[in-house]
Amino acid sequence: MSAPLPLLLASLVLIAGGLAALRRAWRQRGEGGGALVAGGWAALLAALILCAGGYADRGVAFGIVLAMAAALFFVFGAALRPLAPAPRRTLRAAKTAMPESREAGWRSRLAGIWTFVLLGPLAGLVSALLGSLAFRLAQPVLAPANAAVIAFFLAPLAWAVLAALLLMEPRRWRRSAIVLALGIMGAVGLAV
Amino acid sequence: MKTRPIWPKASSGRVDSALSAHSLIGLIVGGLIYVLCLSGTLAVFEDELEWWEDASAPAVAAVTPEAAQKAAQTLFSAREGELSHLNLFLPREDWPRFVASTDEETRSVDAAGAPTGHHHAPWNAFLIDLHYYLHLPSIIGITLVGSLGAMLLALVLSGLLAHPRIFRDAFAFRRGGSARLTQADLHNRLSVWLSPFFIAVALTGAMIGLFTVVGYLVAQAGFGGDILALYAVLFGEEPAPNPAAAPLADIATALRTMKARFPEAIPFWIIVHEPGTLGQHVQVLAEHPQRLIYAEYYNFDGDGAFVSRTGMSDGALGQQIASSVYRVHFGYFGGFWVKAAYGVFGLCLCAVVATGLNLYFLKRERQGRPAPRLRSVWTGLVWGTPALLAATFAGSVAGLLPPASLVPAFWAGLAALLLWAAITPAGRVRLEARAAAGLCLLLIVPFNVIMRMPADAPLLLHAVSAVLALAALWLLRPVASAAFGKKDPAGRQGLTAPAE
């Protein structure tokens, strides 16, 4: 696809305007930036609609690429100017965010291996089961291809969400229980 | 008027646990994800690299139906056994080549349909095999790669959850301060603004990689365990085979019909299934320029008569989505500039992965728990992977490394480099790995241009040479700085080299 110049220029203007508005609003840190934030997002959305109007689904993807490329210019532009040092909060968060081993010896190692197995193969299998269950539930009302694609989308997405949320759960037994419960739900749903 | 925050207000507990989850996933799978990201970034340019590797092959702008038939017939006549498929890869806007293949061989073909020589791009095949399978057996490899895609998605999600001021800091970039702040800003800003790209490549990569495993379960759930029935729902059915002998299918008539009936479609791949049998049929895969779908499949019988379209462009939405995954993953939907943008975004993703682990080591140092060996090993992986890719590339193009040796050379080389890194200061590891990568590229570019590239080589090949030469110079920059006694800006800011 080679986009026609007027469409490209109009999209670029909207994207640049939208990003500039967002940048200004966020640098004001909450002081009267509501209109700018809304306007910035609206301009980005308008750019995507313009691209979609010209080139259907390929146009939307093209517009998103254009927006990300423009955002990089803004970010690297900001990189040339030194800013104020980071607020204390970031330092505190970073300080507490280290995955530390609280238990010594073999118990810690076993716990680590179990966490890996839980988040890797087990959560992956459970997510695949959930995807298949979604297919089973969607099959009566959707075309088979549509139901299948829901499963193919859902399985990796569920795995990613599950992995992130499970690691945010500090209690190990609760992590295991969640995976077990979801696994049983998926297996029973498919067996019925 | 006060702005209402778009992002939900984060509790410090949630931020801490999200950061902890983010760090843990990164620590477990960061290395393999980095190798995949780097190989994927290069794989975006597989067409260009493949041609540069096989630089003596002729440029072909267009192929007539008669030339396509002639090329297919030549390969078919040269067969030694029964063939399951015969493929013709027609020239495209960004790939002016004509390649024909069977189960037995792959040949470059000229515009008249005459094979000119064996298609020889082993490093490109090695690269694709690395990105798709990590050089493991196909099902295991692609499933592992798909799993890593899901973990990359988990990293993006936990990273977004861990960022309490995602919008307010969206444009902040502190450079020139401490190494940790610079790295954190680079990591966070790139992650926020490129999150659509990261999510798209991670999700589509996971979908492609986990297709077999999820497909198996879906087939159990809805197709009586018949996975071919599931494939048929998404990608169309294959006609029943008939092994009785017949002349090769009429490809020329199929292509003429395509031009007359579907002028908006751009054919780029012709597949003859079971060629030379009564059951043979022809599939013409054609690009629809305004759509993200990989291709619409136009089906013809052995006489070249049009039979059907599979419906990737106008069938069920699920078919259209399934067919769009590939172009979204590799950036094949907007010509050269989108590929270039994907290249830059891919390098940014590599930088995000690299800085993520760098931040971990910097935090450990700040907390008085440094891990210098681990940090050196990580530096070895970050710079050793491109060094080994460059070395295998140069060795293959120069004819020093036969195709079968590329995989062992890469992995054995990387293992040796990581072992060496464990006993070497990280700064030296970085410098020497960069130097090795830069030198390999710097040597192979003039070699290929002088020894193998035709005098009238098209602009694209020269552009690839120029990009490779520039990459070599960038890689060698810290070496030159060290030689001339200047401080390397990246190293000074701790972007890559830790304190030793």
ipTM: 0.87
The whole-angstrom separation of Cα A187 and Cα B212 is 19
Query: What element of type H or E holds B117?
Result: strand B115-118
Nearest CA in chain A to B176: A82
Beta strand B115-118 with B266-273 is unpaired
Q: Strand B266-273 to strand B85-89: parallel, antiparallel, or no bridges (unpaired)? A: antiparallel
Measure the N-to-C terminal CA separation of chain A; round to a whole number of Å. Answer: 48
Rounded to 10°, the helix B459-483/B46-53 angle is: 90
**Could you give the dihedral angle defined by the CA atoms of residues B411, B51, B118 and B270, in that order, rounded to the nearest 10 degrees?**
110
Whether the CB-CB separation of B399 and B452 falls below 8 Å is answered with no
Q: From B403, B342, B397, B429, select the one nearest B94 (Cα to Cα).
A: B342
The pLDDT value recorded for residue A81 is 55
pLDDT for A90 equals 44
**What is the number of alpha carbons within 13 Å of residue B418 lying toward its C-beta?**
13
DSSP codes of every residue in B360-410:
HHHHHHHTT---HHHHHHHHHHHHHHHHHHHHHHHHHHTTSS-GGGHHHHH
Instruction: List the single best residue of A23, A68, A142, A172 to mutate versus B (max B Cβ within 10 A).
Output: A68
A42, A18 in Cβ contact below 8 A?
A: yes
Q: What is the edge-to-edge ordering of all strands in the sheet holding B85-89?
A: B115-118, B106-109, B99-102, B85-89, B266-273, B281-287, B296-301, B306-309
Measured in whole angstroms, the distance separating CA B390 from the mean position of its chain's CA atoms is 16
Cβ within 8 Å, pair B234-A22: no
Per-residue pLDDT tens over the stretch A95-131: 444 554 455 577 777 888 888 888 889 999 999 999 9
Of the candidates A2, A57, A159, which has its C-beta nearest B324's C-beta?
A57
Nearest C-alpha of chain B: how many angstroms from A156? 5
User: What DSSP letter does each residue of B2-15 carry, written as one string?
Assistant: BPPPSSPPPPHHHH
Q: A152–B207: do the CB atoms touch at under 8 Å?
A: yes
3-state secondary structure of B282: strand
- Looking at per-residue pLDDT, the higher value among A167 and B7 belongs to A167
Q: Which stretches of B44-177 are DSSP H helices?
A: 46-53, 65-77, 122-133, 138-161
State whether A99 and B217 contact (CB < 8 Å): no
Optimal mutation site among B152, B173, B314, B349, interface A, most CBs of chain A within 10 A: B173
* Residue of B174, B207, B233 lying closest to A144 (CB–CB): B233
**Partner residue opposite B230 with nearest CB, options A99, A148, A170:** A148
Separation of alpha carbons B235 and B223, rounded Å: 15
Chain A residues with CB-CB distance to B352 below 8 A: none
A73 vs B141, higher pLDDT: B141
How far is residue B141's CA from residue B459's CA, in Å, rounded to a whole number? 37
Confidence (pLDDT) at A78: 62
The beta-strand segments (E) located in B147-203 are none
CB B315 within 8 A of CB B235: no
* Nearest by Cα to B440 from B378, B401, B500, B388: B388
Nearest to A1 among B4, B24, B334 (CB): B334
Q: How far apart are CA B500 and CA B493, in angstroms?
A: 14
pLDDT tens profile A20-69: 998 888 877 656 678 888 899 999 999 999 888 877 788 889 899 999 99
The DSSP result for B247-275, as a single string, is: PPP-HHHHHHHHHHH-TT-EEEEEEEEST
H/E stretch holding B233: helix B227-235
Q: What are the boundaries of each domain within chain B?
A: 371-500
CB B67 within 8 A of CB B115: no
Those residues whose C-beta lies under 8 Å from the C-beta of residue A45, and which sit 6 or more positions away, are: none
Determine the pLDDT at residue B10: 60
Each residue's pLDDT tens digit in chain B (500 positions)?
Answer: 455 555 556 667 778 888 888 888 898 899 999 999 999 999 999 999 999 998 888 889 999 999 999 999 999 999 988 899 999 999 998 788 999 999 999 999 999 999 998 888 999 999 999 999 999 998 999 999 999 999 999 999 999 888 877 777 777 776 666 777 878 888 988 898 999 999 999 999 999 999 999 999 999 998 999 999 999 999 998 888 899 999 999 999 999 999 999 999 999 999 999 999 999 999 999 999 889 999 999 999 999 999 999 999 999 999 999 999 999 999 998 888 899 999 999 999 999 999 999 999 988 888 898 999 999 999 999 999 999 999 999 999 999 999 999 999 999 999 999 999 999 999 999 999 999 999 999 999 999 999 888 888 888 899 999 999 999 999 999 888 887 766 555 544 444 443 33
